[in-house]
Amino acid sequence: MIDRRLFMKGTMGAAAAMGVGATLGGGFARPALAQEKTVTIGGSIPLSGRAAETGLNVHNGYLTAIKYINEELGGVEIGGEKVKLELQMVDDASDPARATTLIQRQLDDGIDFYLGSFGSNIVLPTAAIVDRAGKPMVQTGGGSDKIFTQGYKYVFGFYPRATRQFLSTAAFFGSLEPKAKSFSVVSTNDAFSKTFAEGAKNDCTAQGLTLLKEYELPAQITDTSSVLSSIRATPPDILVCTTHDQNSLLIARQMIASGTNVNLLYQALGPQLASYREALGKYANGITGATYWEPGVDFKDKIFGDTKTFEEYYRRNFDRPLAYHTAGGAACIVTYVTAMQNAGGLDPAKVRDALADIDIMTMYGPVKFTADGDADPLVMGAKVFQIQGSEPVIVFPGEAAMGKASYPTKPWGERT
Partner 1 sequence: MLTQGIRRYRWWILASAVALVVLLFLPGLMSAFHTRVAQLILMSAGLALAWSILGGFSGYWSFGHTAFIGVGAFGAALLETKVDLGGPAANLVVGLLFAGLVSGVLALVIAYPLLRLRGIYFAIAMLGVSQVLGELVATLDWFQGSLGIVLPRLAPRDIEPQVFYYYLFLGLAVLTLVIGFAIKVGRIGYGLIAVREDEDTAAMMGVPTEAYKIFVFVISAVLTGMIGAAYAHSLGYITGESVFRVDFSLNMIVYALLGGIGTLAGPIIGAVIMVVLTQVLLGDLLDIHMLATGALLAVLVLLAPKGILGSVQGLLRSRRSPPRASKPAAGEAPP
Partner 2 sequence: MTIFLQTLADGIVLGGIYSLAAVGFSLIFGVMGVVNLTHGIFVLCGAYGALIVWQGLGIDPLLGIPLVMAVLFVVGYAYQRTLISWAVARSSLLATLLLTFGVALMLRNIMVLVFSPDIQSITPSYAFSFFRIGALTFDLVRISALGASLALLLLLALVLNRTGLGRVIRATAQQELGARLCGVNVQHVYGLTFGVSAAFAGAAGVIIGIVLPFSPPDEVPWTINAFVVVVLGGIGSPAGALLGGLLLGVASTMTSAFIGPAFPNVMTFLILVLMLLLRPHGILGNAFAGSR
Residues engaged in binding partner 1 (CB under 8 A): 1-4, 6-15, 17-18, 20-22, 24-25, 28, 47-48, 89-91, 93, 95-98, 100-102, 104-105, 107-109, 120-121, 124-125, 128-129, 132, 144, 146, 150, 189-191, 193-195, 216, 218-219
Quote the DSSP letter at residue 408.
S
Closest CA to 251 of 182, 188, 180: 188
Q: Give the residue with the Cβ less far from partner 1, 2 or 33.
A: 2
> What does 10 interact with, of partner 1, partner 2, none (CB < 5 to 8 A by kind)?
partner 1
Which lies closer to partner 1 via its Cβ, residue 37 or residue 146?
146
User: Which of partner 2, partner 1, none does residue 254 bind to, with CB < 5 to 8 Å depending on kind?
Assistant: partner 2
24 vs 233, beta carbon nearer partner 2: 233
Give the burial class of 405: count Cβ atoms within 10 A of its Cβ; 0-12 exposed, 13-18 middle, 19 or more buried. Answer: buried
Residue 206 to residues 17, 174, 199, 240, 262, Cα–Cα distance (Å): 59, 9, 11, 15, 21
| In the complex, minimum distance from the CB of residue 140 to partner 2, in angstroms, rounded to a whole number | 17
Specify the DSSP class assigned to residue 164: G
Please, which residue, 6 or 257, has the CB nearer to partner 1? Answer: 6
In the complex, what is the shortest distance from the CB of residue 368 to partner 2, in angstroms, rounded to a whole number?
32
The interface partner of residue 22, options being partner 1, partner 2, none and the CB cut-off 5 to 8 Å by kind, is partner 1
Residue 155 CB, nearest approach to partner 2 (Å): 26
Interface ranges with partner 2 (CB under 8 A): 47-50, 52-53, 55-56, 189, 215-218, 220, 222-227, 229-230, 232-233, 245-246, 249-250, 253-254, 256-259, 273, 275-276, 279-281, 283, 320, 412
Residue 116, CA atoms < 13 Å, CB-side half-sphere: 31
Q: Residue 34 Cβ, how far from partner 1 at the closest point, in Å?
A: 25
Q: Shortest Cβ distance from residue 315 to partner 2 (Å)?
A: 17
Of 45 and 287, nearer to partner 1 (C-beta) is 45
Which contiguous run of DSSP H or E holds residue 256?
A: helix 245-257
Nearest Cα to 51, choosing from 116, 118, 102? 118
Nearest to 141 by CA among 163, 152, 156: 156
Residue number, 129 or 185, with CB nearest to partner 1? 129
Q: Which does 341 bind (CB under 5 to 8 A by kind): partner 1, partner 2, none?
A: none
CB of 197 to partner 1, least distance (A): 10
Q: Which is nearer to partner 1, 60 or 263 (CB)?
A: 60
In 10 A of CB 218, how many CB atoms?
Answer: 10
Closest CA to 406 of 415, 414, 398, 395: 395
State the Cα–Cα distance between residues 215 and 231, nearest whole angstrom.
10
DSSP conformational letter for 68: I
Distances from the Cα of 133 to the Cαs of 99, 321, 378, in angstroms? 16, 37, 31
Residue 105 binds which entry of partner 1, partner 2, none, CB below 5-8 Å type-dependent: partner 1
Residue 183: what are its φ and ψ, rounded to 5°?
-150, 155
Distance separating the N- and C-terminal Cα atoms of the chain: 75
